[in-house]
Structure 1
């Protein structure tokens, strides 16, 4: 697959391993959306507390930070296929316990929190395997497809979750999620070849110590650190703007329309840039698209209604496609033997950043107003992108002595 002209969807889907990863990922995202919605409804039914219901909806994401800080080195010490299958089976057990074990609310939340600590490992194994099965520019196109799938599967999962809740209640919805995870485990187990750990078996330090050491090494590398910050900071402010949509509109129904438009905008941006922009153009687009993420939020100075708010949110989220221009550079920058941990660190930073962005803009919304909080998020996003101009711009061509073999063949 030529990196000059860019890969095609036909080439990407011709790879059997990618089809397995793609299908299982769609099931995973849809299932998680159903699970968190059903859990929130179940907790509210048991407790009558809106606060606990909201905590249940977010509980699956909070442990991601702990897992990313302490356990990520296991993503390179254990076989990727085994990790992904284990992740699906853990979801099966958790969903069935939540549905049928009759647990009190505190036990349900504790179960979700405890199992969620290992989620970064499973995601890191999937992300690290993708460059193995899709070399060259096909990897970037594969990542864009997963981004599109994530947005679409979240919307589909929430819609399906609502339908399941109406038909069979939260227990039935959780059982459906368990079934999706079981199907995903079968796909992964029999669809992927047996994999080996990235790090050779030998004398090893503890997982926590190794995770901290490798995270420090990755962050001390100027090139890797720049790419990580460029991946983390602009979405931080996008998440902050989105967090203010509900208080700005004053109604969850209208807010749902705007947030769905944002998800659709993200999918369209990932699809358009991933499919129609050549590899070199994607890298050149990283900076302007990162800036674009903040510009639409400034339009909230005009106090738009739900229609225009949806349009602005869609354009802002469409700018997330800027990350496609960083993907190949990130893979090239990190050592192959710690690729799993590197992708896990990238994901952990994104998750943490979204929580931080929502909190910061939440404070701004309290001090000013939700509308002005959104504007602050836009301005901060633009400044963050401009401050990261260096890592967001394409890197100069590598020299002949350090050029990767694929690039040498292309030039030759």
Structure 2
């Protein structure tokens, strides 16, 4: 069913009054905290073991790239399996993988393979979670619910990076990874006890690799959906090329201990952007400011050519992260563009493309960091992100500008 955005912004009180949303929100928070700690612990561990910017970036993106595989092979199941079953099963799988990583029984290459393989179903889990939101929230409450998830992503990453740094200082990377195991199990328990059963959107039995490919192609052939996907993918994904070299950048400027600050600053910018734009800006005005916000993702990163000190670098990263809130202007437009029975797959495709491009951009940034300075890599990431915003300039404008 197509819904119409409200004339005024919804309130977080409206959104959190929905009990099932609170359950989904709580499990997502636990998921993000554990995942953030795992990514930081794994990236730092690999860099300490190898001294390689490329390997550090590969470790950081090992949880991103499986989206490409899952998105190509498994997305059709997002509309055919109950969301509760998918989410609980994935949390249990993550818990088992984190426990193996924490045990320290694998060499670095095997650790990366494990993270990659167990991350393949993440595309289906993310699609199921995101597609459940419009079933729980109507109108602008849906947009604010998406904003709340993005705010949570920023806030829990700030908390997760800070917590991960403290945990590694206190109990080492292994202890930090055990904490991820605990958050996975806590999330699975919350979903098992509190999330209601929601039936699958489709009951046919044709789900599989060929069906996933067929539906993905059909969605991408639709001009409106394709334009909205590219507008959501390109600018923020290219910016992630900078994230892939933040660990060596901190070392380059003589402050290796500031890596947590840099990651947290970017996450804090995303938190503030989604909080302010989602809550204080009306639906119509969100669309009006979508273009400058998207352009602002890359512009602050150009200043990294001056090799800013960690505190100034953190301010620039915060400004860059704030710009990601432009996606709120496209949230309801994308929901209305996709068929309801394919909603899970459509959201899965959106998430798959985003995560895949982010992983490739971070890996490319790490590879480039082997031959040029990390500061130059960040600068180039900012420049390509700004160019991507220009490419999607027409789509990023108010809806009436679209044909």
TM-score when normalising by structure 2: 0.88
Alpha-carbon deviation of 1:361? 5.0
TM-aligned CA distance change 1:163 to 1:382, over 3 Å: closer
Whether 1:26 and 2:29 are equivalent positions in the alignment is: yes
Alpha-carbon deviation of 1:163? 3.6
Q: Map of 1:240-255 to 2, 5 A cutoff?
A: 240-248=241-249, 250=252, 251=254, 252-255=256-259
Whether 1:215 and 2:216 are equivalent positions in the alignment is: yes
TM-aligned CA distance change 1:57 to 1:356, over 3 Å: closer
Alpha-carbon deviation of 1:242? 3.9
Deviates more, 1:99-108 or 1:172-181: 99-108
Q: Which residue of 2 aligns with 1:387?
A: 391
Task: Give secondary structure in 2 for the equivalent of 1:198.
Answer: coil
TM-aligned CA distance change 1:342 to 1:179, over 3 Å: same
CA contact (8 A) 1:364 1:376 kept: no
Q: Which residue of 2 aligns with 1:87?
A: 90
Unaligned 5+ segments in structure 2 are none
CA contact (8 A) 2:161 2:264 kept: no
Q: Which residue of 2 aligns with 1:290?
A: 294
Whether 1:155 and 2:154 are equivalent positions in the alignment is: no
Q: Map of 1:257-272 to 2, 5 A cutoff?
A: 257-272=261-276
Whether 1:60 and 2:30 are equivalent positions in the alignment is: no
TM-aligned CA distance change 1:270 to 1:119, over 3 Å: same
Deviates more, 1:127-136 or 1:354-363: 354-363
**Aligned partner (choices 172, 177, 180) of residue 180 of structure 2:** 177
Larger Rg over CA atoms: 1
Alpha-carbon deviation of 1:256? 3.8
How many residues get paired? 394
Deviates more, 1:182-191 or 1:36-45: 36-45
- How far apart in 1 are the matches of 2:67 and 2:129? 15
- How far apart in 1 are the matches of 2:47 and 2:310? 28
- How far apart in 2 are the matches of 1:21 and 1:269? 22
TM-aligned CA distance change 1:380 to 1:180, over 3 Å: closer
TM-score when normalising by structure 1: 0.86
- How far apart in 2 are the matches of 1:49 and 1:107? 14
Q: Which residue of 2 aligns with 1:310?
A: 314
Alpha-carbon deviation of 1:368? 6.4
Q: Which residue of 2 aligns with 1:228?
A: 229
Higher RCO (Cα < 8 Å, 6 or more apart): 2
Alpha-carbon deviation of 1:241? 3.5
